[in-house]
């Protein structure tokens, strides 16, 4: 009898297991990451985290190694979590807020930005309130439930003259950036094909990720966005059409509007195509493959918390691992405070393109038709 596949409750569990499987790779100590910054005496981005769940905790822990970004505040609806974080991270009472009163951060000069790590459906209203309070917004992906909400968030941040950034941590990951560099350098030749496989078997049926009102969908809104976004930075193009098909084997667990498995295909202006899979019903899926006329790149794990593993036709990728969220927050501080330009954008406009693709995928599933895309 074959052993049963392990059941994972969330994307966080999935990414943690993927990370554990890759731990045979050498790690770079966080001290190594900070080595070149140890004499840094420039501006520091002072951040409050909204939503003190597992991912918020991961970001907070990673920020302890940052020199350009510092955790200074929290926003939560759970008083016990606030007390715990105050103890762990030395956060003063005046920088603690709940979901009813966090508009008061407008008067708090010790907070520059708020990082939203709450469920998808809350991002839109929270981001608009944060912008109205005059603080920069960092939001987890997907940025919103749909493109309309995303547009409204962008408009609110522009009106308030604050930055809107999205937690695309892979845009700063060393092996990912090396593949992008090689592609730009022409090492792969003309890009022909991309494959993105993202999924895990989700557990607890009562969690918010299986609640359409909070999640906005199912696997596509959670794990599938990695393949959507990855198809764009791996090929270096934005798609111009999409087709998609949904498979649902458990309509009790995956209720109406909560997708279990979606396969989708993308077409790009150059003629390149992508074939992607997003699922809540299969384990051991975290793979990107890029094919060109002169070579290839393969990454597996491709989007986990790391270490990422990868190879190309030229050999193994050997860039050292640094905690993704540490690098992300350092780089985002540079974007906000110093006007730095990342290799791959992490702003609201970048996230809006993914939301337009998500809208189109769901429309293609519903209609069975090919849907044309206009992302800019």
H helices of 112-191, in order, are: 123-132, 147-160, 174-184
Whether residue 284 lies in the annotated active site = no
Q: How many residues does this entry show for the chain?
A: 376
The one catalytic residue in 226, 233, 280, 305 is 226
Question: How many CB atoms lie under 10 A from the CB of residue 298?
Answer: 18
Read off the DSSP letter of residue 311.
Answer: E
- Mapping DSSP onto H, E and C, the string for 211-234 reads CHHHHCCCHHHHHHHHHHHHHHHH
C-alpha span between 299 and 287 (Å, rounded): 6
Whether residue 115 lies in the annotated active site = no
The one catalytic residue in 17, 68, 135, 141 is 141
Q: Read off φ and ψ for residue 74, nearest 5 degrees.
A: -140, 150
C-alpha span between 84 and 312 (Å, rounded): 45
Task: Please give the sequence-ordered ranges of beta strands (E in DSSP) within the chain, or none if there are none.
Answer: 45-50, 69-75, 96-97, 113-116, 136-139, 164-166, 191-199, 241-247, 261-267, 273-279, 285-292, 296-299, 310-312, 315-316, 371-372
3-state secondary structure of 193: strand
3-state secondary structure of 265: strand
Question: How many CB atoms lie under 10 A from the CB of residue 243?
Answer: 17
Return the residue matching tokens 């790590």: 117
Q: Which residues are catalytic?
A: 141, 226
């Amino acid at each position: 009898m074959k052993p049963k596949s392990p059941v994972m409750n969330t994307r966080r569990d999935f990414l943690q297991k993927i990370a554990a499987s890759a731990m045979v790779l050498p790690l770079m100590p966080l001290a190594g990451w900070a080595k070149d910054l140890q004499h840094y005496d420039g501006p520091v981005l002072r951040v409050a985290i909204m939503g003190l769940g597992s991912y918020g905790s991961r970001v907070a822990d990673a920020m302890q190694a940052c020199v350009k970004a510092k955790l200074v505040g929290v926003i939560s609806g759970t008083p016990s979590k606030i007390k715990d974080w105050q103890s762990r991270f030395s956060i003063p009472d005046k920088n603690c807020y709940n979901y009813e009163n966090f508009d008061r951060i407008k008067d708090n000069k010790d907070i520059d930005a708020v990082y939203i790590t709450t469920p998808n459906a809350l991002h839109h209203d929270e981001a608009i309130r944060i912008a109205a309070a005059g603080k920069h917004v960092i939001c987890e992906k997907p940025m919103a439930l749909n493109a309309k909400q995303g547009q409204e968030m962008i408009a609110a941040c522009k009106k308030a003259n604050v930055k809107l950034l999205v937690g695309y941590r892979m845009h700063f990951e060393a092996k990912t950036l090396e593949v992008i560099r090689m592609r730009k350098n022409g090492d792969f030749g003309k890009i022909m094909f991309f494959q993105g496989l993202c999924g895990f078997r989700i557990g607890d049926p009562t969690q918010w990720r299986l609640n359409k009102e909070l999640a906005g969908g199912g696997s596509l809104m959670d794990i599938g966005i990695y393949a959507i976004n990855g198809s764009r930075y791996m090929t270096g193009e934005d798609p111009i059409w999409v087709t998609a098909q949904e498979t649902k084997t458990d309509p009790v667990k995956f209720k109406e509007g909560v997708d279990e498995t979606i396969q989708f295909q993308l077409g790009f202006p150059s003629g390149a195509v992508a074939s992607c899979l997003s699922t809540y019903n299969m384990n051991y899926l975290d793979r990107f493959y890029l094919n060109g006329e002169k070579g290839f790149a393969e990454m597996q794990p491709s989007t986990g918390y790391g270490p990422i593993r990868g190879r190309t036709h030229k050999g193994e990728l050997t860039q050292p691992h640094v905690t993704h969220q540490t690098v992300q927050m350092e780089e985002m501080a540079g974007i906000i405070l110093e006007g730095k330009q990342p290799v791959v954008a992490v702003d609201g406009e970048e996230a809006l393109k993914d939301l337009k693709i998500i809208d189109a995928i769901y429309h293609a599933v519903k209609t069975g038709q090919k849907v044309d895309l206009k992302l800019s």
